[in-house]
Chains A and B, each alone.
Chain A
Amino acid sequence: MKALIIGAGLGGLLSGARLARAGYEVEVFERLAMIGGRFTNIEYKGFKLSTGALHMIPHGPGGPLAQLLTEVGADVEIVRPSPLSMIRIPKIKGGNYYKEGYVDIPFSGFKNQFSMMNQLKLASLLVTTRINPPKEGTFGKWISRNVKEEWAFKIADAFCGWSLSLGCFDVSTKEAFAIFENLYRYGGSGIPIGGCRAVVDALADIITSNGGVIHTGADVSEVIIRDNSAAGLVVNNVEYFGDVTISDIGHLETSRLCNGAVESGKHTQYFEKIRKIMPSAGVKICLSSDEPLIGHGGVIFTPNARRINGMNEVTNVDPGLAPPGKHLLMSHMCVQQDRLKYLEDEIDLGLHDLKEMFAGKKYEVLLIQSHSNGWPVNRSASGLDVGNKTPFTDLYVVGDGAKGEGGIEVEGVALGVSATMDIILGQGNRLDGCN
């Protein structure tokens, strides 16, 4: 059996590795001169920056991605930092931003910031929502109905902005509670030693050592559809044929390669659905310093900043991500779609936040990276995913345009790939995790 894969991002490589291990002949086609998509390292001034992800795997060594990596035999060390996450609050209660200083408190302390009345309410909600997770409307609206207090919106925006690059009014309540449940089930984040690239390189090794091929500079221009089934691909004007095709570029982009077969006739329902999928946008600002700016590898949520949602300093876990004696801090801020036309102003607000938080400390802004549209933070803003199937047999979509429910970013990618493998290889296909 032969599998053709469009795109060597995390979704494409996970699928390729799994199918190669199942005995498939695998051929991966990547448009760019490098593999890994938005989940790999870029070397800059001796630092291992990244194309997208902040060298962070949302559920660390216990999550869906780590499980899938173990299953296919990818040898990646994922370290859970300690503390896992903190919240930065202004020194003066109710203070604006961090101008007058700040204190970092453990994440669980977010409850104590509420009024006494809401603390009691929250304690009961934490129990009842686990038994009966709410599903209606947006998470922001749910907060308005249940714990209407400014702090609730601030902390929810920081959390949603950091993990999904969305505001709390743009996340569905159903998705938000599915994410919380996954946090209970799998635990918090971890850092892959060697950064994102360690993950994609390990997967590429599995593909090639099992006889697969990864082409770079290979732009797929068409999915050949015959009898409502994907028969092959056109790549740089050459035709390739296979038994199954997996696309790592999202539903809409994939449908555009199908030569009008989706828009026309009987697939209009699917087309209408995928047209509604919206990407999420964000800005990552990378700082270098001689002395650590945070001092640990956990996430710091910054609910009182103007724009920055959170940040991490990965060199406290893996010093190899910076040149000797240097530290690397990455901050993330969500950008609302209607603010994209004022992107430079948004970036300035983010830079202002950092200046305020690190007043008196010496650091350099290494790189400012923004992501939107066709190269977004998240191809399908969480909760909008439509699954991995397409109207065509033997054509599947994986990646962050087709995540599994409640799966934050790469965890959602892994859940989507596992679901796709269940369809292609049949339920009960799981490997034992040995090489």
Chain B
Amino acid sequence: MICGTIMLLFIEYVSKSKSGEKFMIINQDCVGCAQCVAFCEQDAIKVKGRAYIMEACIDCGFCAAYCPMKAIEVPV
């Protein structure tokens, strides 16, 4: 079961990486406070009313630790 889940995640990772799509998801709780922007070393977040993750994101998950709304979902 766990092996299967890991396998699925891996396949998703490979396909997402190939297509350039990102794992990080900004959910609807985002208020657009831009706190995450200041902590992203890749300059991969843009904010206007809400946050948008850009191509440069490397899925490091660092920004999520600074989001007051738990709006950045990190894949586990």
User: Are A344's CB and B49's CB within 8 A?
Assistant: yes
Partner of B68, one of A43, A367, A368, A375: A375
| A51 to B35 Cα, complex, angstroms | 6
Assess A347 versus B48: contact at CB under 8 Å? Given A367-B37, A375-B69: yes
Interface residues of B toward A: which range? 10 to 19
- Nearest chain B CB to A368 CB, angstrom units: 6
Task: Find chain A residues with CB under 8 A from B66 CB.
Answer: 32-34
Q: Known contacts A34-B66, A44-B38, A374-B68: does B33 contact A51 (CB below 8 Å)?
A: yes
Check A49 against B38 for contact (C-beta < 8 Å).
yes
Q: How large, as a class, is the contact surface on chain A?
A: 20 to 34
Question: Complex: how many Å from CA A52 to CA B68?
Answer: 12
A-B contact count (CB 8 A): 58
Interface set, chain A 30-46, CB cutoff 8 A to B:
31-34, 37, 42-44
Q: Which of B56-73 contact A (CB under 8 A)?
A: 65-69
- Contact residues in A for B31 (Cβ distance below 8 Å): 370-375
How far does the alpha carbon of A42 sit from the alpha carbon of B33 in the complex, in Å? 11
Quick check: A42 and B48 within 8 Å, CB to CB?
no
For A369, the chain B residues whose CB sits under 8 A away are 32-34, 47
Interface residues in B3-41 by Cβ distance below 8 A to A read 29, 31-35, 37-39
Measured CB to CB, the closest approach of chain B to A363, in angstroms, equals 17
The reply to whether the CB of A343 lies closer than 8 angstroms to some CB of chain B is yes
Interface check A217, CB cutoff 8 A: yes
A347 x B37 contact (CB < 8 A): no
Q: Are B32 and A32 closer than 8 Å at their CB atoms?
A: no
Asked if A43 contacts B38 (CB within 8 A), the reply is yes
User: Distance (Å) between the CB of A235 and the closest chain B CB?
Assistant: 16
The 5 closest A-B pairs by CB, nearest first: A42-B38, A33-B65, A370-B32, A343-B49, A369-B34
> Which residues of chain B have a CB within 8 Å of any CB of chain A?
29, 31-35, 37-39, 47-50, 65-69
